[in-house]
Chains A and B, each alone.
Chain A
Amino acid sequence: MKGRIIVTLKSGILDPQGKAIEGALKSLGIAGVASVRQGKVFDVELDGRDRKQAELMLKQAADKLLANTLIENYDVKVVG
């Protein structure tokens, strides 16, 4: 089993990196880019087979370390 945790900045939090990437995309002439927000993806190999248990563990990992919930949201998925 594998887990994926996606961490994104909450709306309203300034994202200078996203802004810089947005500028670079626009200067490359890639049409239709309105705005860009940068986030993080964590892929985790899981030991057990219990999906519910795995999801709980991934949420715990996000709450305790992977996301700063003052400024970030997260989403966890168990795949495979």
Chain B
Amino acid sequence: MKSAVLVFPGINRERDMARALRLISGDEPVMVWHADTALPEGTDLVVIPGGFSYGDYLRCGAIAARAPVMDAVRTHAQAGGLVLGVCNGFQILCEAGLLPGVLMRNAGQKFICRDVYLRVERSDSPFTHGFNAGQVIRVPTAHGEGNFIADADTINRLEGEGRVLFRYTDPEGALDPAWNVNGATNAIAGVLNDAGNVLGLMPHPENHVEAALGSTDGRGLFAGLTEHFARAA
């Protein structure tokens, strides 16, 4: 799997992401600078990692979404290439118009840094091959603006088309407002674009891929992607 990890000023999870990709896919990802205008030849997967691009100035992800490399990402996505945005990466994809909706300030107004439980809604997407539908995973989250909102039509379409891949739930997988840590509409933690090849996800599966760090629940994301490209090859 040839993956490209984008690097913007202020991003801070790019090495965690690269480590998880290397560990699970066995292939070394290429780091791509925001000012570059092209992705490496043959890129399968573009990953936009988390952090605080441009200090979250203006709106989270707003300035990064307009960086030169994003035109190449748009072209890659339009050609059907896979794109994964985690945390700030999710915010950047929304700001770039590659995903619907907006990530607003957390409903509780506080920055949230803790483990959360996510229910995997489908296992038939390239991003979730490595999980079972209905499976609950525990992954870390760290954000101040993760409260996903969109207009009612968009939410209906996301739900009707099965584009919600991950939802905040309690440890047993039941919806509970107390476990919807940022107040996201319908407890949405991860959504797909209409073509199903761009995923935005608020929590950090890349930080739960080694037993030494307490959990390997995040491995399924990377294992599924690796399998997806192995099958395609």
Contacts and interface: CB of A to CB of B under 8 A. Distances in A.
Contacts, number: 32
Interface of A: 13-14, 16-17, 19-20, 64-66, 68, 70-71
Nearest to B59: A68
Interface residues of B, number: 18
A16 B107 contact: yes
Give the most central of B59, B95, B101, B102: most A CB within 10 Å: B59
A70 B102 contact: yes
A66 B65 CA distance: 12
A71 B62 contact: no
Contacts of A19: 109
A71 to B, nearest CB: 5
A68 B105 contact: no
Interface of A is mostly: helix
B104 interface: yes
Given A13-B149, A16-B107, A16-B109, A65 B102 contact: no
Given A13-B149, A16-B109, A68 B104 contact: no
Contact of B101 (A13, A16, A20, A70): A70
A50 B109 CA distance: 43
B62 A65 contact: yes
